[in-house]
Every structure is written in C-alpha cells, then in structure tokens.
C-alpha cells in the first residue's frame, strides 16, 4: 500500500483510509470482516466520529486486538470544554482504547470556530493530549474557505480534514490546500466520492471508458490522490467489493491520463447536475439561511442513514429553510442549476 506523510505528525499513512461513516448500516459480523481485511490489505488509518451511530462501538469490537497496527481517528461535535471532555471519554470507552491518535473538531461552521477557542473546547483537547489520551488535534470543515484559512493560520491544528472530490472545483486545490501543506498541516480528503455521487452510476457510465477497466469510483479516488498535498482519502465503505476496489487504488498507484480525466469530468458533470456541491456561491442568503449546510444534513439523512443526527443539526440552526421567501437570489449565483428554493422546502419537510 502506498503511503504518504501526514504533515508535521510524521505519520506514514496509507493513501486510502477507512471511512467508517457507513458502519451503522452493517452488522457487527460484517464489520469484523471488513475492518480486518482492510488492515490486512495495508490500510493503517481508520476514521470515525462520535455521531456516526454505533460506528465507534463496532470498530472497538472488531479491532480490539490490533490497536497497534493502525492510526485511529474520531471526531467530536461539541465546542465547549465540558462537552468535549464528556464526548472524549465516551469515545475512548466505545473504541475500547486508552489512546486515540487523532481527535478532530467535527464539521466546524460559522461562529462555532471561535467557540472552540473561547468556550474551552481546544483547551480540553490540549489537556487530554498532555495526559496521553490523544496524540494530535485536528479540525474538519466542509465548505467554508474563510474558516479553513483561519484554521491553517492559527497553527494549533495538526490536521485539516476537508470535503474534496472530483466534483469539487479548484477553489481548494488552487490556493488553500497548497498553503496548508506548506505550513506542515496534514490534509485528509473526506467524501472523496462526493458522498456516493461518484460511485458507479450505470446511466452515467454508459459509453465512458477508463483504463484497465477501472470503475468510476476508482478513477475518482485516483484523481483525488493526484493532488500531492493530500495525504489520505477516506471513502466510506460497507461492502467487500468497495473495499477491494479501494485497496487496488492504494496498492497499484498510477497516473490517470488526459483521456481518463476528460471522461471523468463528463461523468462529474452528469453526477453534479442539479446537485449542491457545498461551494457556497449561493451565499449570503438575504434571510441568513445556511443553504450548503442544510443540503449536507439532508445528504447525511438520505445517504448515510444518520437521521437523528441530521435532524438534531438542522434543528439547532438559528435560521432554517422554512424562512425561505423564494426570492431566487441564490439561483442567480448557483453555477450548478440547483433548484434551491424548491429543494429548501423539501429539506425542511425531511429534517424538521
């Protein structure tokens, strides 16, 4: 398995990590098989989150005898000191370990970034690090470039986890990722298949040919890993064929040629038609609606079956989709043809 150095941590990570967001959808027995085959296959980075259903418990049971063979990462959605400490202790119990290699502040957006510093959340993780309960502190941010820039410039986070796939435009690749890499910040690509939209899509794949008979998912992963600033991509996996395909990408590195990139971009165009890419171009909304966040919660609800968490996140918003006036200002700025006002109503009905 090809490996790359994760910034200033010095860890040599497999370029393909195990994204555990889908583990709540499989049995413990299936999970045992998947995770052990992943470690056997050379994957040495497993990422989960406190809010991913019973993912942490399943990992703890499946890999309890192999803890020294991989780097373990989890994410916490609390921001204040008390909340962070409670969640961290729960993560340790559920993962059946006395040390977590990497803990990230999960899905940080808006004013939450400042709360990490002002409400004791960062201090709580720093204390846990001195106590040996964690090794490194990171942050995951989905689409806000200003917050990403703040996190990079702060110098306090070892790792930045970003939503990055072939469906994302160069807003990340052109500036922010090189800047973060230059500072020694480790970069991990979450949602490298765009939340499943770049998994095999028969109608899209028709007449599209990739070298060596590889799938759309495999070429999409190769595209993400063609960015030298990215250390590791963590696709969510719940089936053996997904794991085997992803292992092949990591074990047999190769450059994708111009024709493959062209075919991939044709698929990306089809897959992204009418779908939110969390680019934020629709903002600011006159009513203050956090449009990309709402579509992302809806995706967690539909694609990952994290229904309770998605609803909690939606209901915690200060402004939700119900206040949309249909002014259509967002439509003027969306480059992907998303029917935002109409989809806002549907999202509200789903998540309220």
Maximum Cα–Cα distance across the chain: 57
DSSP letter for 26, please.
S
Q: Are residues 316 and 241 both part of a single domain?
A: no
Nearest CA-CA partner of 45 in 7, 16, 21, 68: 16
Tell whether 281 is covered by a domain. Answer: no
Nearest CA-CA partner of 221 in 262, 264, 266: 264
Distance CA 308, CA 261 (A): 38
For the stretch 319-332, pLDDT in tens is: 999 999 999 999 98
How high is the pLDDT of residue 305? 80
The shares of helix, strand and coil residues in the chain, as percent rounded to the nearest 5, are: 50, 15, 40
How high is the pLDDT of residue 200? 63
Q: Are residues 50 and 156 both part of a single domain?
A: yes
The structure's pTM equals 0.89
Residue identified by tokens 């590195």 is 253
Number of folded domains that form the chain: 2
Q: Are residues 307 and 190 both part of a single domain?
A: no
**Whole domain around residue 336: which residue ranges?**
291-351
Backbone angles phi and psi of 142, in degrees to 5: -85, -45
Q: What is the CATH number of the domain that holds 245?
A: 3.20.20.100
pLDDT tens for the chain, 352 residues: list them: 999 999 999 999 999 999 999 999 999 999 999 999 999 999 999 999 999 999 999 999 999 999 999 999 999 999 999 999 999 999 999 999 999 999 999 999 889 999 999 999 999 999 999 999 999 999 999 888 899 999 999 999 999 999 999 887 556 777 899 999 999 999 999 999 988 878 766 555 555 567 778 888 999 999 999 999 999 999 999 999 999 999 999 999 999 888 888 888 888 877 666 778 777 889 999 999 999 899 989 988 887 788 998 999 999 999 999 999 999 999 988 877 889 999 999 999 999 8
Q: Are residues 157 and 296 both part of a single domain?
A: no
Q: Are residues 210 and 327 both part of a single domain?
A: no
Residue that terminates a domain, selected from 238, 271, 304: 271
How high is the pLDDT of residue 175? 87
Q: In what order do the strands lie in the sheet with 186-190?
A: 18-19, 45-47, 71-76, 100-105, 134-141, 159-163, 186-190, 232-234
For the stretch 259-303, pLDDT in tens is: 888 888 888 877 666 778 777 889 999 999 999 899 989 988 887
For the stretch 147-161, pLDDT in tens is: 999 999 999 999 999
Tell whether 284 is covered by a domain. Answer: no
How high is the pLDDT of residue 208? 58
Residue that terminates a domain, selected from 271, 300, 329: 271
Q: Are residues 110 and 148 both part of a single domain?
A: yes
Residue that terminates a domain, selected from 216, 240, 271: 271
Nearest CA-CA partner of 12 in 164, 183, 186, 130: 186
Query: Computed from CA positions of residues 108, 345, 164, 24, in that sequence, does the dihedral angle turn out positive or negative?
Result: positive
Tell whether 277 is covered by a domain. Answer: no
- The 3-state DSSP class for residue 64 equals coil
Q: Can you give the length of the chain in residues?
A: 352
Distance CA 227, CA 59 (A): 29
Tokens of 3: 């490996």
Q: Are residues 20 and 144 both part of a single domain?
A: yes
Tell whether 280 is covered by a domain. Answer: no
Q: Are residues 197 and 305 both part of a single domain?
A: no
- The 3-state DSSP class for residue 285 equals coil
Q: Are residues 146 and 16 both part of a single domain?
A: yes
Nearest CA-CA partner of 39 in 12, 74, 68, 9: 68
Tell whether 282 is covered by a domain. Answer: no
Q: Are residues 209 and 335 both part of a single domain?
A: no
Distance CA 66, CA 68 (A): 6
How high is the pLDDT of residue 137? 98
């Amino acid at each position: 398995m090809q490996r790359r150095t994760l910034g200033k941590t010095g860890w040599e990570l497999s370029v393909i990590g195990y994204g555990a967001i889908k583990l709540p959808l499989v049995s413990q027995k299936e999970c045992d098989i998947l995770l052990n085959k992943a470690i056997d296959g050379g994957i040495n980075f497993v990422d989960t989150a406190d809010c991913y259903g019973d993912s942490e418990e399943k990992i703890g049971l499946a890999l309890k005898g192999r803890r020294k063979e991989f780097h373990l990462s989890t994410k916490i959605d609390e921001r204040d000191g008390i909340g962070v400490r409670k969640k961290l202790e729960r993560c340790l119990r559920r993962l059946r370990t006395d040390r977590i290699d990497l803990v990230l502040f999960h899905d940080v957006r808006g004013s939450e970034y400042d709360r990490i510093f002002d409400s004791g959340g960062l201090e709580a993780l720093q204390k846990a690090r001195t106590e040996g309960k964690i090794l490194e502190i990171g942050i995951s941010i989905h689409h806000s470039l200003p917050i990403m820039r703040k996190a990079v410039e702060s110098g306090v986070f070892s790792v930045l986890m970003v939503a990055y796939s072939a469906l994302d435009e160069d807003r990340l690749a052109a500036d922010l990722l090189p800047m973060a890499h230059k500072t020694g910040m480790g970069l991990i690509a979450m949602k490298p298949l765009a939340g499943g939209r770049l998994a095999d899509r028969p109608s899209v794949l028709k007449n599209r040919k990739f070298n060596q008979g590889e799938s759309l998912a495999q070429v999409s992963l190769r595209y993400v890993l063609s960015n030298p600033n990215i250390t590791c991509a963590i696709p969510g996996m719940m089936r053996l064929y997904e794991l085997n395909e992803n292992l092949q990408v990591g074990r047999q590195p190769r450059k994708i040629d111009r024709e493959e990139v062209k075919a991939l971009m044709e698929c990306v165009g089809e897959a992204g038609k009418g779908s939110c890419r969390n680019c934020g171009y629709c903002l600011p909304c006159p009513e203050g609606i956090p449009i990309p966040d709402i579509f992302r919660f809806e995706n967690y609800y539909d694609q990952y079956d994290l229904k309770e968490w998605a609803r909690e996140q939606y209901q915690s918003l200060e402004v939700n989709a119900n206040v949309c006036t249909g002014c259509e200002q967002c439509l003027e700025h969306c480059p992907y043809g998303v029917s935002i006002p109409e989809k806002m109503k549907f999202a509200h009905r789903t998540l309220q």
